[in-house]
Amino acid sequence: MSSRWILPGAVVALSTLGIFSSASWVSANSSTNAVALYASSPQERTGQPVTLMADTPIPLTTGQTLSIINTTTGAVVASTSTGTTLTTTVTQNAAATDQFMAEVTSHPLSVQWVDHAVGNNQGYQNALGQTVALNAPTGGASGVPITVTASPTGFKNAEYQFWWAMDGDTWHSSGAFSAKDSIAVTPPSDGILSVLVYARESTAPLHETSAERAQYEAKSTTATITIGPPAYQVSPGGVSGSGFVSLTTANEVQVGDQISLLAAASDISDPVYQFWYASPDNTWMSSGPYAPANTFTLSANMPGTWQVVVYARPGNAPANETLAQRQASEVQSPVSPITVHP
């Protein structure tokens, strides 16, 4: 038949009775997914094809599938994961009544709960709103210990458990929770070292259930540390061809808190430092002239992503050096992002 039958629901029954009927169709109530199902003819002779078209008013999004299902047999006769329509033809070679349904479904989603959630993901607070951040350098060298320090907020007597992994490999822990708020990790090779810390009150149950662990424990955002040759070194001909500087800071704070920066220069004689920072509006400011102080504090007065970096050079570098002289003696740490939460 040339006409298209529009069914108000998402279910249609097709009869192949060996006779031709031009004006009869059957419908049933649809599910609540607002999918319409159309048939070129709800009744046709055996051996003749019937065209089915499913239509959804909202385009499919990632993970969704529009399907036409033969509910009589349970078979999916057609499906698509894009657009808003799906068309297919079906043929029955014996007198029968088949019922079809159109529906939008999503792909299965797996959620895994593990004893200790580790990985490059955001930290979280515990049930009391207590949080913990991790102060860690942005770079290091293989075989050289790297010290990371926990920075708790809201805890009275916190205990900590650190975890670390190289390049997504096996995670290692510092052992049982303890009052020690820092740990030195020695990266075995070049690559990316991921480190995080859990914190909980010392009064938390020693053998808590999984539900209690989720209630008492706070977790830091994962810090990633680049292990390998320094990204910025003293140029050839400088005071030291292997000099570099690292920058240690918290990777997240609350708005209104102080951001503390700690620089550590290596192979630079009598180093002096100059810190730079950018607020979320990308306005860069400096700590002032180069000075021996390797620490600097600024106020996180705006939520968003801040950026910090430190420069170092020998104390005997020329005060009014040329560009070439500065490039020969000045080193820069990688730029570190800091998330300031509202």
Q: What per-residue confidence (pLDDT) applies to 319?
A: 65
Give the pLDDT confidence of 204-263 residue by residue, as tens digits. 887 777 777 778 999 998 888 877 654 333 333 333 456 788 888 888 888 889 999 999
Look at the chain and count its residues.
342
Q: Which residue has the higher pLDDT, 287 or 241?
A: 287
Give the fold, CATH level 3, of 113-229.
Immunoglobulin-like (2.60.40)
Cβ pair 53, 87 in contact under 8 A: yes
Which segments of the chain belong to CATH 2.60.40.10? 113-229, 230-342
Residue 87 has which token pair? 């068309």
Q: Which residue has the higher pLDDT, 4 or 276?
A: 276
The amino acid that residue 61 corresponds to is: T
Give the Cα separation of 82 and 30 in Å (integer): 21
Cβ pair 309, 332 in contact under 8 A: yes
Report the range out of 60-69, 233-242, 310-319 with the highest average pLDDT: 60-69
Q: What per-residue confidence (pLDDT) applies to 339?
A: 87
Flag whether the pTM goes above 0.85. Answer: no
C-alpha of 230 from chain center: 26
Cβ pair 230, 267 in contact under 8 A: no
Q: What per-residue confidence (pLDDT) applies to 20?
A: 28
**pLDDT tier at 30 (50, 70, 90 boundaries)?**
very low
Does residue 31 carry a pLDDT above 50? no
Give the fold, CATH level 3, of 5-106.
Immunoglobulin-like (2.60.40)
Cβ pair 196, 251 in contact under 8 A: no
Q: Which residue has the higher pLDDT, 120 or 284?
A: 284
The pairing of strands 5-6 and 85-91 is unpaired
| φ, ψ for residue 277, nearest 5 deg | -145, 150
Residue (of 235, 257, 258, 254) closest to 314 by Cα position: 235
**What CATH class does 230-342 carry?**
mainly beta
Does residue 109 carry a pLDDT above 80? no
Give the pLDDT confidence of 175-203 residue by residue, as tens digits. 999 999 999 998 888 778 889 999 999 99
Q: What per-residue confidence (pLDDT) applies to 148?
A: 93
Does residue 150 carry a pLDDT above 60? yes
Q: What per-residue confidence (pLDDT) applies to 158?
A: 95
Does residue 288 carry a pLDDT above 70? yes
